[in-house]
Amino acid sequence: MSKILLGNILTAELVGAGTRYPSDGLEGIGVCSQRVLWGANDHDIVVLPIAPTREFAEYVTDLTQTDLQSLAFVETPVGYPGRGTVSAECVRNRRFLSQFGELAAEHHVTKITPYYFDQVATAIARAAGVMETTPGFGFADEGGVRMLNSKAHFRAIARAAGVPIADGVVTTDPDHAADYAAQEIAAGRAVIVKQDHQCGGNGNEVLHPLPDAEAIGALTAVCLGSRHEVLWHVAGSWPRYSDGGRERVIVESYIPGCLPVYLELQVDDEGIREFGRGEMLMSPTNDGIAVPGGLANVSGYQAFRTDALRLAETVRSLGYRGFMSVDGMATAAGRVLVNEINVRDGGSTHVHHLAERVLGAAQGGKHMVTKVRHTDHDFSDTLKRIEGGGFGFDLAAKTGVVLTMAVTPSQKFEYTAIGDSAAEAADFATALDEEFPSA
C-alpha cells in the first residue's frame, strides 16, 4: 500500500499580510518543497508545485533505496500567489482532482501525508478517496491543525498542561499589548511580539530598551525608550502584527542568552514516537539545525522531554495525527521553556527521514549540521564539487556531506554534514561554508 506525499510548504493558513518571500520568490519555495521526497517509499505519489529534476530525484532515491520508477510525480495547477505554491486552484480544478483520483486508484494509496493539513490537502484526500483511511482526517478537515498551530492557542494548551512558557499576553487590543510591552521595557527587559500564524521567526519583532541588544528569533528589532514611544510604535505596527485585525497578537518577555532547541515527535493511532531532536541554529532567525547540537548538554533536557510528550499526548487526544515539533528555549540556568508547537512537517523532518532511512541503526552515534548555502552551479556540478573536495558522503562509513535540497532559481542549496562526532560534523560544515558563500 502506498501514500500521497504533499509538499504544500507555503499555505494561506500559515502566512499573513507581513509575509516576506525569499529572494528567489515562490519558485524557490517550490524547490524547497521537494525535500518531502526523503520520506517517499515505493509506489508513493509525490505531489509538488514544481517536480524535481531527474538528477535530484535519482540522488535521493539512491540513498533511501527507493524505486524511483515506481513513484508518480504530480505538479499541481498554478494559482494565486503563483507557481511554486500548492494553491487553492487544486480545490477548484475539477479536471485535476478527477485525474488525480484515477492515479490514486492505480497506486492503491491508503492515506495522505501532507506537509501541512490545510483545505488543499483535504480536497486531494477526497479526490483520492482516502478520507476514512487517513489517520486524523476528521480533525484536520474541521480546521483542527490550524487551531493547534496558533501561537495563541498554544499558550492556553501549555498553561493547562502545566508546561513552562515565557510570561506574556495574548490579545486583540493594541493598548493591552502596548501596556505589557511598556511595563517590561520600563523594567529594563525586552519583549518579543509574534504574529499568530507565522513560522521560522517570520513576523516576529523584538522591542528592547537598549541599543544593539540581542534579538534572536526575529527579523526586526526596535529600541524604544519611553512609554510614549512604545504606545506609538505598537499602534502603528498593529495592522502588521494582527494581520489586518484578523488575528490575535502574542507579546512575550524576551529572555536573552537562550539556546533554541526542539524535539520532533510522530503522533499516530498507536501512540507517540520520538523522531528527532536537536538545536535550531539562528542568525537571527532559523539558519539550519544541529543534531543533537547543544541540546545534548542541556541539563534540563529530561524535563523538556517530559513536557513535550505531555503536549503531544494532549494533541493526540484531540485527534491530530502526524509529525509534531515542540520548540523550546534552554535558559542559561538549564531550564527549558517551551516556545511553541508545530503540528506539521518541520524544517528538520526531512533531515530525520534521512537519518532514519540512510543511517539506520547508526544514527544514534552520528552528529549532523544542516545549512543552506549559495552555489554558482547546478545540482550535479555542485555535488561533483563537494565530492571532488573530499567531502562527499561515504555510504560505508555513513559520514560526509549529503545534499538535502535541490538548487533553487536563486542558486541556493541545502546540505547536511554527518560526522561520528560533533567536531567532525562541524569540520565538514566549516569546509562547506568556506567553499560556498552564505545564502
pLDDT surpassing 90 at residue 285: no
Question: How much is the mean pLDDT over the chain?
Answer: 94
Q: How many percent of the chain have pLDDT more than 90?
A: 87
The pLDDT score that the predictor gives to residue 13 is 57
Q: What would the mean pLDDT of 128-147 be, rounded to a whole number?
A: 96
Which residues constitute the domain of residue 341? 259-435
Residue 110 has pLDDT above 50, yes or no: yes
Q: Output the domain CATH number for residue 271.
A: 3.30.470.20
The whole-number pLDDT of residue 12 equals: 57
Residue 17 has pLDDT above 50, yes or no: no
Report the alpha-carbon distance of residue 437 to residue 439 in Å, rounded: 6
Same domain, 239 and 348: no
The answer to whether residues 288 and 423 belong to one domain is yes
Regarding whether 272 and 125 lie in a shared domain, the answer is no
**Are residues 249 and 279 both part of a single domain?**
no
Per DSSP, the three-state class of 405 is strand
- pLDDT band, very low/low/confident/very high, at 438 (cuts 50, 70, 90): confident
pTM: 0.94
Q: What is the DSSP string of 206-248?
A: EEESSTT---TT-SEEEE--SHHHHHHHHHHHHHHHTTTTTS-
Query: For 289-343, how does the pLDDT look when each residue is reduced to its tens digit (9 = 90+)?
Result: 999 999 999 999 999 999 999 999 999 999 999 999 999 999 999 899 999 999 9
Q: How far apart are CA 182 and CA 209, in angstroms?
A: 10
How many structural domains are present in the chain?
3
Task: Check whether residue 44 and residue 73 sit in a common domain.
Answer: yes
Q: How confident is the model at residue 363 (pLDDT cuts 50, 70, 90)?
A: very high
| 393 and 426 together in one domain | yes
pLDDT-based confidence at 24, cuts 50/70/90? Answer: low
- 86 and 131 housed in the same domain: yes
Torsion over CA: 209, 261, 33, 59 (sign) = positive
For the segment 183-192, the average pLDDT, to the nearest whole number, is 96
> 399 and 293, same structural domain?
yes
pLDDT of residue 276: 97
Residues 6 or more apart in contact with residue 397 via CB below 8 angstroms: 420
Q: Does the pLDDT of residue 14 top 80, yes or no? A: no
Rounded to an integer, the average pLDDT of 116-127 is: 94
Q: Do residues 127 and 231 share a domain?
A: no
Question: Which residue, chain included where needed, has cell 510525480?
Answer: 73
| Pair 398, 282 in one domain | yes
- Give CA–CA dist 206/326, Å, rounded: 22
CA distance 247 to 121: 23
- What CATH number corresponds to the domain at position 174? 3.30.1490
Whether 76 and 214 map to the same domain: the answer is no
